[in-house]
Structure 1
Amino acid sequence: MKPFVRFTTIVALLISSALCEDEKWTSIFNGKDLDGWTPKIMGKALGEDPQKTFIVEDGAIKVSYANYTDWGSAFGHLFYKAKFSNYKIRLEYRFTGDQVKGGPGWAIQNSGIMLHSQDPKTMGKDQDFPCSLEFQLLGSGNGVKSTGNLCTPGTYITMDGKVNKTHCISCKEPTRPLGEWVKAEAEVRGGKLVKHLIGGKVVMEYSDLKLDGGDANAKPLIEALGGEDLKEGYISLQSESHPVEFKNIEVLELKP
């Protein structure tokens, strides 16, 4: 091997090694219980989940409706304790079973990872969704043909160089069958850029994250922040009337 070739090979290996060392993923779900996670169910106080919507079984967080007789508009979110700004989150999800009685048709095999969520302590008791950016996860049973979409409760973004206030924006990644585990990942760069990935492939990209001054839930947050820029927030998992499971939930914090 020539000296120059040997040198460039060594440099490449060193760079590769450094990058691997920087990627220190941290598990934020221990696979045993909900330590570090807090539920917020519509109509209930923070931390109250009397029907045990969020449970842990077989190493997964399960959204369960075993104790429900009717949906009752019990939109729910399970919040992780820490706030993040620049980070990646990855997990696996799958839909199981049947939707609970009374659930809306659009919520069949429908859930999501809420990014840059507002602090759950600031949510109203009867608030259905936190102001956030929803990385929407869908199954094949609701008529919608794509997963990895974006919904924007109390927020808006820029896409393809244009401000876009459409509430839900679809991508082109096909949904997966009921019961199949799917790998989902999001890369969040403060308030500047977000990417959604399904199966390791980027399926959605948007920028310039904002709270929407026209939304009643977002208004007090904007006043508290002194502006619309959305640069950080909490991660939460959604319960929206169809059983869903999440496992292998990890976060990688990134440099700004």
Structure 2
Amino acid sequence: MKIIAAFLIALLCQTIAHSQTKSTNLFNGKDLTGWHMDVPEMDKNADAKKPFIVRNGLLVSLGTPGGHLITDKIYANYKLEVQYRFAGKPGNCGVLVHASTPRALYGMFPKSIEVQMENQNAGDFWCIAEDITVPDMESRRGPKENWGTTGDKLRRIKNLTDNSEKPVGEWNTMIIECVKNTIKVWVNGDQVNSGYNCTAQKGQIALQAEGSEVEFRKLLLTPVKTK
């Protein structure tokens, strides 16, 4: 009986460990279940179009009107794989991690750290009422006295590489790893950014509508074990 009990306990522990690292598709390929939109234009204009749709099995940010598609759930300690492309022409978009207070900046952007997807700048950090530290901070962010997280302060932290993105029309893979107070970013296999001392360690995940049409075919979240 002791052997059977030990076996059952081991099996239970293995099952729990597996469930803790099981990946979750944040986009089901059919609809926007698990997400909600925050689009200021839709507050005042009942006829405003929704800037996020599902088309041909892809999640599409139409770019306008400006706003965000935000997960209903809060996440911490994970790796997020995002496959995206600018199908028509190069433009701007972003993935926001540790998102919380809505419309904290310019009446539009939620409190968060943005991982930039803008063509030729993929992997930049943008601080939106949250902050993060990187090595060589002044060379990548500008004069220290101008740093900040709101308004017209220096909120952009440039990424480390050039030419990591695929040509427009081809699919890019961005991996964002958020573990405790660190955020690391890879684009098509190149590590393009790494920050620490982040002022947030959990939050929602958001996609932007920021002027350009972007297609997403994969949003896969995998929990990361921490000690």
TM over 0.5: yes
Percent identity between the two aligned chains:
29
Q: Which residue of structure 2 lines up, in the alignment, with residue 198 of structure 1?
A: 187
Q: Residues 160-194 of structure 1: CA distance to partner in whole angstroms, max 9, x if unpaired?
A: 2869633112221423322111001100012x210
Aligned length: 195
Show the 5 A alignment for 1:217-232: 230-232=200-202
For residue 55 of structure 1, the aligned residue among 47, 53, 71 is: 53
Which residue of 101, 107, 115 maps to 1:127?
107
Local SS of the residue matching 1:208: coil
Aligned counterpart for 1:184 among listed residues 154, 170, 174 = 174
1:76 aligns with 2:70: no
Alignment of 1:24-63 (within 5 A): 24-45=22-43, 50-63=48-61
Could you report, residue by residue, the CA deviation over 1:60-103 in whole angstroms, capped at 9, with x for unpaired residues?
111126xxxxx6xx3211001110111111110101235xxxxx
Structure 2 residue 84 is the aligned partner of structure 1 residue 93: yes
Is structure 2 residue 209 aligned with structure 1 residue 239? yes
Distance change >3 Å, CA 49–CA 153, structure 1 → 2: farther
Cα distance change, pair 125–149 in 1 and its aligned pair in 2 (3 A): closer
Alpha-carbon contact 1:43-1:125 (below 8 Å) kept: no
Partner secondary structure for residue 232 of structure 1: coil
The structure with the greater share of residues assigned to strand is 1
Per-residue CA shift, 1:97-143, capped at 9, x if unaligned? 35xxxxxxxxx6111100000154xx47971211111110122xxxx
Aligned to 2:10: none
Is the 1:39–1:49 contact (alpha carbons within 8 Å) kept by the matching residues of 2?
Answer: no
The answer for unaligned runs of 5 or more in structure 2 is 1-14, 142-146, 148-153
Within 2, Cα distance between the matches of 1:125 and 1:91? Answer: 25
Instruction: Evaluate the alpha carbon distance shift between residue 44 and residue 189 of structure 1 in structure 2; reply closer, same or farther with a 3 A threshold.
Output: same
Task: Check whether the contact 2:42–2:48 (CA below 8 A) recurs between aligned residues.
Answer: no
Note if 1:154 corresponds to 2:136: no
Question: Alpha-carbon deviation of 1:49?
Answer: 8.4
Off by >3 Å, runs of 4+ in structure 1: 20-23, 123-126, 161-166
Letter in 2 for 1:206: G
Q: Give the aligned CA root-mean-square deviation in angstroms.
A: 2.8
- Alpha carbons 1:81, 1:234 under 8 Å: kept: yes
Query: Does residue 1:110 correspond to 2:108, yes or no?
Result: no
Aligned residue type for 1:251: L
What amino acid is the match of 2:185? H
In structure 1, runs of 5+ residues without a counterpart are 1-17, 66-70, 99-107, 140-144, 211-229
Alignment of 1:14-29 (within 5 A): 23-29=21-27
Pick from 207, 224, 236: which aligns with 2:196? 207
